[in-house]
Structure formats: structure tokens, C-alpha cells
Amino acid sequence: MAYVRGLQEVGDGLYAYLQPDGGWGWSNAGLVVGGEQSLLVDTLFDLRLTAEMLAEMRRATPAAARIGTLVNTHANGDHTFGNRLVEGARIVASERTAQEMRETPPALLAAVQRDLGAAGPMGEFFRRHFAAFHFDGIELALPDETFAGALELTVGDRRVRLVEVGPAHTRGDTLVYVPDHKVLYCADILFHGAHPIVWAGPVSHWIEACERILNMDVEVVVPGHGPLADLDAIREQRDYFAYLLDEVGRRFRDGMDHVAAARDIAHDRYSSWGETERLVVNVHSIYRELAGETGGVDALTAFAEMVDFEDELALA
């Protein structure tokens, strides 16, 4: 299928909403229809984008006017900030996701957007990647129901299985699996064609999440960012992290600092992927993992490192 903006049917009553180019903030979402009922997989980064998506879904199927359940696959705002527009829906997320959602409210990003709008490398980075989004006036709707591990839902006569595989990208990543058509909404466990970013980690757990998907009966994969995929893309994501663990591990043992290690492999095997600046955060996360530290890189530290790394790459 072509990678174009908007709604695409990926199975009988199963839809993906895609947002090229899949870069910072340009996330995908999904709709599962069962009879007259429907379930939404994630919202978008602001109210305007979410409203446009919901309107297109309603034009495609009457069931989209009666979304009974909204599943948030993880806590990031580009998958949750439009929640309050899905009126009347029960919001479901993993326990870890619900906790993490409270930590980065829309008002915080609105303040950052204003404060960084003036000058400097960080301001330029934020304008370049986030100027298209509007965070003012967003009131985040938090989950009504949480789970740990797994949860099975019904949408009409259709079964939908939620499988928690975090911490990986975030602390509570969740897969949404529709077995009758072998469709998997895997959210940000897959960044298709671009460098992912490890906000939580450990990377070894992300590899385990990929292995878990590869053992599922799946034909269509809807990634969190990027074009529609199949299991080959999951293998590629797994191999990316396995490659990083190996390459970064050698540099860690040689005493190289993590920024130098990222610089050393930036033009290597995955140099054609987008958002290369995220590599420095992923390498930093692996260094923390190898040193026995828990949790991901602090967000402010991560963005500062990406700004500097992006400038280095531009000069290389």
C-alpha cells in the first residue's frame, strides 16, 4: 500500500491512519470495527490533527461515530494528546503507561514551545521538529481502566488482545493484536525506516519485544511511525538493536565515551535511516544498561545531546 496521509483499510473492518513522513510527532493510529462498535488505537499529537483523523474515520464507517474504547499504547503525547476528543470512550492503558502519562502534560510542552521559540540551537531544533503542532489548550484525558501483562477486549464479536511488552521505548508499551485478520498495531515498538528512540529501555527488553512479535501469527504490522509493514520490519528493528548492543558494547569495553561511540557508528550500517540524531540517545541508553544503571536517559539531557549530535553530523 502507498504511504500517504490518511485512513487505509488493512483488513475487514481494520484501519490504519498514517501520517507521513513519520518523523518527530507524526505518529500513526488505528481503528478496529466490530459490527456497530469500534475501538480506537491511540490519538494524535494535538487537537486539530486528532479532529481531522476522527472526521475521516466517521466518513469511512458509521461505527467510528460510536468509539466505545480508546487504547493508549504508551504515554507519549503524539499518541495521547487528542484523547479528550474521543467523547464517551473508555480509555484503557497499561498501569505503567497511566503513571507515565501524568509526567509530561500538554501544558509542559506548550511552555517549552513558548520558551524555546526565541533563539539558540535547542529552540531551532524544537521549531524544526515541533512547530507544526499546537499544544496550548490541550487537557489530557487519562485512562479509566488499567491492566498489567495482558488484557482481552471485545469489539462486537471481534476479539482484541492487548499485550504489554514494556519497558522498552517507554515504560509501558502495549501491542494491540487482532487475531482474526492477523493485524498487529505495534505502536512505537516499530519505527519503520527511521532510528527509534529509547526513552526507557533496556534495549535488551526491546529485542525481547520484537522476538515476542515474531512468534505471533501476524501478516500486517501497523507501526507507530512510518509506512505499513510486515514481520520483516520487526526483524529489522530487532537486528538494529542487536547490532547496536554488539557495536556499542565493544566501544564501551574499550573505554570510549558514548558520544564518541555514537559518532563512530553514525555513518555505518543504518546511515540511510531518518532521525539519525536519536542514535546518540540509544547509545547512551546502552551505556547505562551495560553499566548496570536502570531507566532511560533524562529527557532534557537526551534533547541536549541530540541537538549537539545533529550539529556534528551536519559538519561531518
Confidence bin at 127 (pLDDT 50/70/90): confident
Confidence bin at 268 (pLDDT 50/70/90): confident
CB 74 within 8 A of CB 187: yes
Task: Check residue 124 and give its pLDDT.
Answer: 87
Please name which of 144, 141, 205 lies closest in space to residue 172, comparing C-alpha atoms. Answer: 205
More confident residue, 213 or 104: 213
Looking from the CA of 227 toward its CB, the CA atoms found within 13 Å total: 7
Reply yes or no on whether the pLDDT at 48 is more than 90. Answer: yes
Residue 181 DSSP class: G
Q: What would the mean pLDDT of 195-223 be, rounded to a whole number?
A: 97
Reply yes or no on whether the pLDDT at 62 is more than 60. Answer: yes
Give SS3 for 79.
Answer: helix
- As a whole-number percent, the residues of the chain with pLDDT over 90 amount to 86
Give SS3 for 130.
Answer: helix
β-strand partners of 134: none
Q: Which domains does the chain carry?
A: 6-315 (3.60.15.10)
CB 96 within 8 A of CB 62: no
Minimum mean pLDDT range among 243-247, 268-272, 274-278, 306-310 = 268-272
pLDDT digits over 137-190, tens only? 999 999 999 999 999 999 999 999 999 999 999 999 999 999 999 999 999 999
Please name which of 181, 163, 184, 161 lies closest in space to residue 172, comparing C-alpha atoms. Answer: 163
pLDDT digits over 91-120, tens only? 999 999 999 999 989 998 898 888 765 567
**Average pLDDT for the chain:** 95
